[in-house]
Amino acid sequence: MKKPILLFLTVLLLSIAVIPSHAQLEANNWYWGGGKGVQFLPTLKQLDSVYDNGEEAIAISDRQSGKLLFTSAFDIANLGVIGAKITHHVDLFDGSNVKFTPLPLRGDVSCSQGLLVVPHPSNCSQYYILSLDSRFASNTSRDNKYQTQLSYSLVEYSFGLWKVVVKDAPIIQGYFTEGMTGTIHSNGHDFWVVLFRYNPLSFVSIPITEDGINAGNAVFSYPDQLPDKGDAYNHLKLSPDGKHLLDLASYNLCLSDFNSTTGIISNRKDLGIYGIPFTFSPDNSKIYTLIERFVPPNGSSPRVIQIDITDSILVPSPIDTVQEPWNRGAASMQIAPDGKIYFQTEPNWTQLSGPPKISYLSCIEEPNKKGNSCKLNIKKLVMRQIDGGAFDQFPNYMDYIFNTDGVLGAEQLAARCSPPRALVLPDSGCIGSTLVFTDMSKYATRRTWKFENGSPGSSTDSIVSVTYSKAGTYKVILTVENDNGTASDTTYAIIYPNPTANAGSDKTICPNSSAQIGDKPEAGNTYTWLPTTDLDDPNIANPNASPKTTTQYILTVTSEHGCIAYDTVLVTVGNIVAKVSNDTTICSGSSVQLLASGGAKYTWSSSIGLSDSTIENPIASPNKTTTYKILVSSGTCEDSAFVTITVNPQPTANAGQDKTLCIGASTEIGETAQAGFTYSWQPTTGLDDATKANPTASPTSSTQYILNVTGNGGCSASDTALVTIGTIKAIVSNDTSICEGASVQLVASGGTKYEWSPSIGLDNPSIANPIANPTNTTKYKVLVSSGTCIDSAYITVTILPPPNTNAGEDKSICNGESTQIGTPAEAGNTYAWSPSTGLLSPFTSQSSASPTTTTTYNLKVINPAGCVKSDEVIVIVNPKNERSFTLKPDTVSILPGKQFTTFLNIPNGVTDWSVKLFYDPLLITYNSISEGQAFPEDLKGELLVRGNGGSRSFSINFDAFLPHTSDTIYPVRLTVDSSNVATCETWSAVGNILMLADYCGKNIRVVSSTGKKYFLTVKYKSIDFGVGLSGNVHLEVFDYVGNSVLVVSDGALEAGEYSAALDLPVGVYYCRFRAGLYEQVGKVLVRF
């Protein structure tokens, strides 16, 4: 027997990847029992869970968001004691499993169907959570004193979060079993919740409407065969279509009828088996349940039973299966979103205290099929079991969401809570045919069609027949609506043109002859003639017909798109009589259609002026009177006829130019008469002769005269002339201004004659619109007349001065230099230089110019009046020449104590010049310079040389001394102090270098420090020297001619005294010592 266990119900929210399947999305994720979970779509897989639901469970995903709502139930310690005050607690979690507020929710883990989720009938974001529980101190056992309360909480998902709107609101109390199920109302909007009451016995159906839940509206049913039941054990299950109810209120499974309109339960039948769990197939035709069968020594194992409720006799049929022992109380069975039925087995009740057992998820793959064809799949998925739970149950669903039979089910609920989905398919047809468009949308309650160029042009029907009168591709727009939104879909109606059927003109043939009927074929069309008798090919466009008797042929033409057209032709067998239209008269330049009949073939002669001489109805356009002969034939039969077309000349009408007269004046209108024509003027008022070609008109008011000229055969032409009466008003164009050298057209009107003065600058002073090109501002007068009427007017042509334009004087620059061209700008003028090459600012009045070649620049200036003037400036570019002063040779070898010579070369093209030579006075000194036009000045380290004339060379002599540094190369730098050269010529200077021979050095050793002062002491084969301060020290030995023979030191030394041994041949040497500002030279004598 089950023991009552009190619990915590924890409501959690997870974000689970689900496949939307409308309302079935609500059941895509199951969490139940000891930490078990599965997901069905897109593929079956096991989910991780750490929550334990006990026997009651709900797991539902929001239809719109996919967020998962499920419970987790826990025992409350020490609250199972009779008389203890019971308090429950619920934790609400978001999609990250973060608890955001504690809320109370009633429940009972021992109530196997104690929780049920019902969508709110009018709010698609809200759900009712219904709970059954027993929270009464007097409840000692589940007998007729075991009272139960049905409560509800209302949860809502909005703005990405779940929240509890109403919590633990009581609905009804009574002696209810633990079974609870529900379904959708027959109105497709409301819901029923069904309970079983065992004291007194009845089924209780409670409606849930948009107004909420009211137990006062509950419906109580008392069907036959209700058991004499005294406890709370029971299971209930309503079929997906809401028409049947299964219950286990007694010891056998029972089937009843359920009325989803009234909530009444009736016709209860005992099925004769004790099966638990149980469910219906998705198509409502089968019942599935599990029963025990004894398998020693381990106890019982399940057996699947199928009952086909469409049979007149409800016979339980076993579906063979073998599975390890199980406990019936631990079983559960439920339809899933993939259309299959799943059930579960758990370990035996007696084994719950041991280690966790593996449970299985088994499957009926095709539950709508009868017998073993339902494809039982044992152990489809091995489930992890985190904790034992003998009575664990799947989430308690209302199976209407899986209904596949009828309108009450998932699709209808989705329509209520989802925006519509528009869908319409294209159609095609021929002109005049009927196209049918069907609304294939989902969830639509209203629709509007728009048919472009169709008939009708719009509709609100679900299926519409439409016709089109023209070929083409036309839009078909379907807009659907429901209370949740609007959607539209666009497709196209493709209308193909009907083919042209031309069976040809009726023919007459002689016996035993033939005639071609039909016309040229068109690509893509097929042709069929009926009857086929006496046709050479009834499936071409133009067969030859040779009937023996008069026959009417019917041509059917079918296009590549299936469009059809018909035509007929009558082929008469008999003698030929040529028939032709009557003689006729036309005017020159006109046309007339000739008509012939009576045969199958036609030939006209002559063919001049005919559009086609081989057809029965050519267009004739002769330019003179012509008689045409028509030869009509059919086979060997021939006949002929004649028709004459008389061509009369077409007159011309010329009423002359429009005239303007003063009152009382007259003018001639019309033209010279042509022989053979008659003339008629309308109106005749004011004319001296209305039948003349050129009458004199003297109307008293403005009159438009119409001339009608008639020739032979009634050919005529007409023209008009307007004679205006009134005073003359000379009208001229406005005064104008032009730039110097420009021209302008003057315009006058109002009369028939014009005379301009002065005539200077006019191309023609006697016309209404002469061209004026005056050199100075001129006022022109125009005299306008018509008959005796005269008026005058004036036009002034002002000559605007050109802008001041000065590109500046021509410039000459050296290559690479720049110069300024142009003059200062005047306000309001715009400037443009061309070409712009080499210009810094090509759109200013002045610009810096640096062309690389001689360039002529054009300056274009436009003043505010638009007058333009140009000027030019030439920038001459001269090439640069460089004159080089040099010292030769490039390198001079020197020896201390010896004189050496270097040469100063003066370049060509210079006159006066002055150069400087910079040298090391400690190494060399100036001695002399060669005679000539050169004047030296020695400044000790700097030699200034001045002279006149170029293209010459001077030798300069220097004396060399012992080196005072360790360097072997000494530069002599040459600069040009001044030089007179031609324009664009420059000068440069190149010095040379002095080079010494290499010297060898000896090791240096340090002697004891005695005062740190500078000194030099020369001894026999050695040198002693002192360094006062740390720094660079240079000590070098030269032979008597100045050659360096030994560098003793040329680097940094610490302050102190030093001694150096001289390993040199016997002879006289000189030693130079330099350290900072201290310098001393000593004589060294090396002896044997």
Residue-wise pLDDT for 457-510, tens only, equals 999 999 999 999 999 999 999 999 988 889 999 999 999 999 999 999 888 788
Query: For 945, phi and psi rounded to 5 degrees?
Result: -125, 125
**Band of the pLDDT at 662, cuts 50, 70, 90?**
confident
Q: Which two tokens stand for residue 979?
A: 């030089």
Q: In which band, very low, low, confident or very high, does the pLDDT at 1025 lie, cut at 50, 70 and 90?
A: confident
The one-letter amino acid code at 158 reads: S
Q: Which residue has the tokens 């266990």?
A: 5
Of 690, 669, 696, nearest to 678 (Cα)? 690
The residue assigned the tokens 């030939």 is 603
CA dihedral 312, 315, 316, 319 (to 10 degrees): -90
Residue 1024 has pLDDT above 90, yes or no: no
Which residue, among 177, 230, 225, 229, has the nearest Cα to 204 in the 3D structure? 177
How far apart are the C-alpha atoms of 30 and 129, rounded to whole Å?
Answer: 16
Q: Which residues pair with 39 in a beta bridge?
A: 29, 45
Give the mean model confidence (pLDDT) for residues 291-316. Answer: 78
Q: Please give the sequence-ordered ranges of beta strands (E in DSSP) within 404-471, or none if there are none.
A: 427-430, 434-438, 446-451, 454-455, 458-459, 463-468
Domain with residues 1005-1086, CATH architecture: Sandwich (2.60)
Q: What is the CA radius of gyration of the chain?
A: 63
Give the dihedral sign, CA 342/345/346/349: positive
**Which residues have C-beta within 8 Å of that of residue 296, sequence separation ≥ 6?**
none
Strand duo 472-482 + 626-634: pairing: unpaired
**The pLDDT of residue 329:** 46
Domain with CATH 2.130.10 in the chain: 8-412
Model confidence band, residue 535 (pLDDT cutoffs 50, 70, 90):
very high
Tokens at residue 378, please?
């044992």
Which has more pLDDT, 364 or 666?
A: 364
- Measured CA to CA, the distance from residue 704 to residue 687 in angstroms comes to 12
Element (H, E) at 712: none
Q: Looking at per-residue confidence, does 936 or 1063 come out higher?
A: 936
Q: Side chain identity at 286, as an amino acid letter? A: K
Amino acid of residue 356: P
Q: Which of 70-74, 261-265, 624-628 has the lowest mean pLDDT?
A: 70-74
Residue 401 three-state SS: helix
Would the pLDDT of 95 be above 50?
no
Give the CA-trace dihedral at 686, 690, 692, 693, to 10 degrees: 80
415 φ, ψ to 5°? Answer: -65, -35
Range with lowest mean pLDDT among 726-740, 814-828, 979-993: 979-993
The conformational region for residue 810 under phi > 0 = left, psi -120 to 50 = alpha, else beta, is: beta
β pairing state of 427-430 and 485-496: parallel
Domain 811-878 has CATH 2.60.40.10: yes
Cβ partners under 8 Å of residue 727, min gap 6:
662, 789, 791
Strands 912-918 and 969-979: antiparallel
Q: Which two tokens stand for residue 279?
A: 């469910």
- Terminal alpha carbon distance of the chain: 137
Dihedral sign for Cα atoms in the order 396, 402, 408, 414: positive
- Residue 546, phi then psi, degrees to nearest 5: -135, 60
CA pair distance 1007, 133, nearest whole angstrom: 114
pLDDT at 552 over 60: yes
Class of domain 881-995: mainly beta
pLDDT in tens, 698-724: 898 889 999 999 988 788 889 999 988
Compute how many other C-beta atoms are within 10 angstroms of the C-beta atom of residue 367: 22
Residue of 72, 80, 78, 82 lying closest to 35 (CA atoms): 72
Q: Which residue, chain included where needed, has tokens 């003059």?
A: 823
Lowest mean pLDDT among 176-180, 392-396, 678-682: 392-396
6-64 pLDDT per residue, tens: 333 334 433 333 333 445 667 888 877 777 788 888 888 888 765 566 677 777 765 55
- For the record, the structure tokens of 200 come out as 């007194």
Residues 254, 202: Cα–Cα separation, whole Å:
14
User: Would the pLDDT of 983 be above 80?
Assistant: no
CA–CA separation, 347 and 326 (whole Å): 5
Name the residue with higher pLDDT: 175 or 145. 175
Starting from the edge strand earliest in sequence, which strands make up the sheet with 736-739, in order? 736-739, 789-800, 778-786, 753-757
Short-list 130, 138, 83, CA closest to 108: 130
- Checking if the pLDDT of 1050 tops 90, the result is no
The whole-angstrom separation of Cα 270 and Cα 249 is: 11
Architecture of domain 659-725: Sandwich (2.60)
Q: Is the pLDDT of residue 279 over 60?
A: yes
Alpha-carbon torsion (194, 197, 203, 207), positive or negative? negative
CB contact at 8 A, 841 and 946: no
Give yes or no for a cis peptide into 456 (omega within 30° of 0): yes
Confidence at residue 86, expressed as pLDDT on a 0 to 100 scale:
37
Nearest of 984, 854, 985, 971 to residue 913 by alpha carbon: 985
Q: Dump pLDDT digits (tens) for 98-132.
A: 443 455 566 666 778 888 989 898 888 888 989 88
Averaged over 333-337, what is the pLDDT?
91
* pLDDT value for 749: 87
Q: For residues 33 and 709, what is the distance between their CA atoms, to the nearest angstrom?
A: 113
What are the start and end residues of each CATH 2.60.40.10 domain in the chain? 419-496, 579-648, 731-800, 811-878
Contact status, residue 1007 vs residue 1058, Cβ threshold 8 Å = yes
Residue 607 pLDDT grade (very low, low, confident, very high; cuts 50, 70, 90): confident
Q: Which helix (H) or strand (E) holds 1062?
A: none
Going by C-alpha positions, the residue among 268, 278, 348 that lies closest to residue 307 is: 278
pLDDT at 324 over 60: no
Is 80 exceeded by the pLDDT of residue 931? no
Q: State residue 1063's pLDDT score.
A: 80
Fold annotation for 8-412: Methylamine Dehydrogenase; Chain H (2.130.10)
The CATH code that applies to domain 507-573 is 2.60.40
Asked if residue 1010 has pLDDT above 70, the reply is no
| C-alpha angle 32-34-35 in degrees, rounded to nearest 5 | 70
Going across the sheet that includes 59-61, the strands are: 59-61, 67-75, 7-15, 90-93, 99-103
Is residue 368 exposed (0-12), middle (13-18) or buried (19+ Cβ within 10 Å)?
middle
Q: What are phi and psi of 371, to 5 degrees?
A: 65, -150
User: Pairing mode, if any, of strands 659-661 and 716-725?
Assistant: parallel
Please state which CATH class domain 731-800 belongs to. mainly beta
Task: Give the CATH class of 579-648.
Answer: mainly beta
Return the residue matching tokens 């077409």: 650
Res 773: pLDDT: 94
Amino acid at 261: T
Mean pLDDT of 356-380: 84
Annotation: CATH topology of 419-496: Immunoglobulin-like (2.60.40)
Across all residues in the chain, what is the average pLDDT? 82
Closest to 381 in 3D by CA, of 349, 397, 358: 358
Most confident listed range (342-351, 644-653, 769-778, 1030-1039): 769-778
SS3 714: helix
Mean pLDDT comparison of 221-230, 328-337, 390-399, 1047-1056, highest-scoring range: 1047-1056
> Where does the chain hold its CATH 2.60.40.3080 domain(s)?
1005-1086
Q: Give 119's strand partners.
A: 127
Phi-psi region of 24 (alpha: psi -120 to 50; beta: other; left: phi over 0): alpha
Q: State the average pLDDT over residues 403-431.
A: 73
| Helix/strand/coil for 504 | coil
Closest CA to 1062 of 1002, 1015, 1018: 1002
Q: Which of 341-350, 664-673, 854-863, 959-968 has the highest mean pLDDT?
A: 854-863
Nearest to 1025 by CA among 1073, 991, 978: 1073
User: 550-559, 947-956, 1015-1024: lowest mean pLDDT where?
Assistant: 1015-1024
- Quick check: 259 and 266 in contact, CB under 8 A? yes
At 1014, the pLDDT band (50, 70, 90 cuts) reads confident
Confidence of residue 227 (pLDDT cuts 50, 70, 90): low
Instruction: Report pLDDT for 641.
Output: 92
By percentage, how much of the chain surpasses pLDDT 70? 82
Query: pLDDT value at position 475?
Result: 95
The span from the CA of 202 to the CA of 175, in Å, is 10
CA 534 to CA 683: how far, in whole Å? Answer: 70
CA distances from residue 676 to 688, 691, 711, 714 in whole angstroms, order as listed: 22, 13, 7, 12
What whole-number distance in Å separates Cα of residue 723 and Cα of residue 717? 20
Cβ(238)–Cβ(399) below 8 Å:
yes
